[in-house]
Amino acid sequence: MIITQQKGIDEIYNMIKPYSKILIAGCDGCCQPPRSINEAKTLGQLLELKAKTEGKELTWKATTVLRQCDDRIAATSLRPLIQEYDAVVSLACGLGVVMLNKVFEDTLTFPAQESMCGGVQNIGENYFIEYCEECGDCILAQTGGVCPRAGCAKHLSNGPCGGMVDGMCEVGDYTHPCAWVDIWKRLKKFDRLDLFKKYRPPRDWRTSNSPAFITIYKDYTNVEEKEEEAKS
């Protein structure tokens, strides 16, 4: 899931200040906490109130989209509405905002959210932990299933660092566990400290650098195989 955190109302209002009719689009996709129709409606009411305090009239409509990051779903959901509005405020993650700007080239879409991170587990009602930063170079096989890239503030491949105290990390004032101590505990439990001792050479950051352009599927042909067979 992707965790978003709503921006302050002043910041959102300043984005839409030049416009008098806005469409507020929630997203029913993977955003957590929910950013759907109810949240869109609440934001509309807040923006209207804010506009009134400045002596302005604001017309708004709240709606929601199954997944804003899917260009076809976004297009079919919002096309009937969008022409009536001066601008759109999206409650989706950054990807949804980019997608609406791409699909509806003639309308500006503004973000209402900070996109915090993906790859998280929701622990309790209001506490999320990032477990995967989608680095494109997975080393979980060496670390007992605990990721030092998402979990270590210094992204160390050969931790722990000297900032670990009683198994806790210096970043966050010793309230978060040190990922490398967790890795050590896990590997020790399975008698696999050989993996812990292993030196890991410098990481190839190309797999996680932005912008990423990825081709997952490649064309497949059996011609080369047949040629190989013929040779042998």
Partner 1 sequence: MSNRPAYSNLMKKIKEGHFVFTGELEPKKILDMEEIIHSAKEMKKTKRIVSANVTDGPQGDAYMCSLVPSYLVQRDAEIEAVWQVTVRDRNRVALFGDVLGAAQLGIKNILTLTGDHTALGDHKKGRAVYDIDSTQFCQMLAIMIDEGTDLEGNELKGGKIEMNYGCVANPNSDPREPEILKVGRKVENGVDFIQTQTSFDIEQAKEFLKELEQFNVPVLLGVFPLKSYGIAWYFDNYIPGVSVPKDLLKALKKAEKDNKGDKKGKYAAIDKINIEFFEPFIKEIQKSTKAAGIHCMAVEYERLFEPLLSDFPQYVE
Interaction site with partner 1 (CB under 8 A)? 153-167, 170-172, 174, 180-181, 184, 188, 193, 196-203, 205
Minimal distance in Å, beta carbon 203 to partner 1? 8
Find, among 156, 157, 177, 158, the residue nearest to 166 by Cα: 177
Which residue matches tokens 């806790």? 168
Minimal distance in Å, beta carbon 149 to partner 1? 10
- Cβ proximity to partner 1: between 60 and 184 the closer is 184
- Cβ proximity to partner 1: between 61 and 203 the closer is 203
CA atoms within 13 A on the CB side of 138: 8
Strands 2-6 and 113-117: antiparallel
- Cβ proximity to partner 1: between 79 and 188 the closer is 188
Minimal distance in Å, beta carbon 194 to partner 1? 10
- DSSP H helical ranges for the chain: 9-16, 37-53, 71-82, 94-103, 148-151, 179-189, 193-197, 223-231
Minimal distance in Å, beta carbon 160 to partner 1? 5
- Cβ proximity to partner 1: between 60 and 196 the closer is 196
Query: What three-state secondary structure class fits 207?
Result: helix
Could you tell me the end-to-end alpha-carbon distance of the chain, in angstroms, rounded to an integer? Answer: 50
Q: Rg of the chain over CA atoms, in angstroms?
A: 24
Minimal distance in Å, beta carbon 184 to partner 1? 4
- Cβ proximity to partner 1: between 108 and 161 the closer is 161
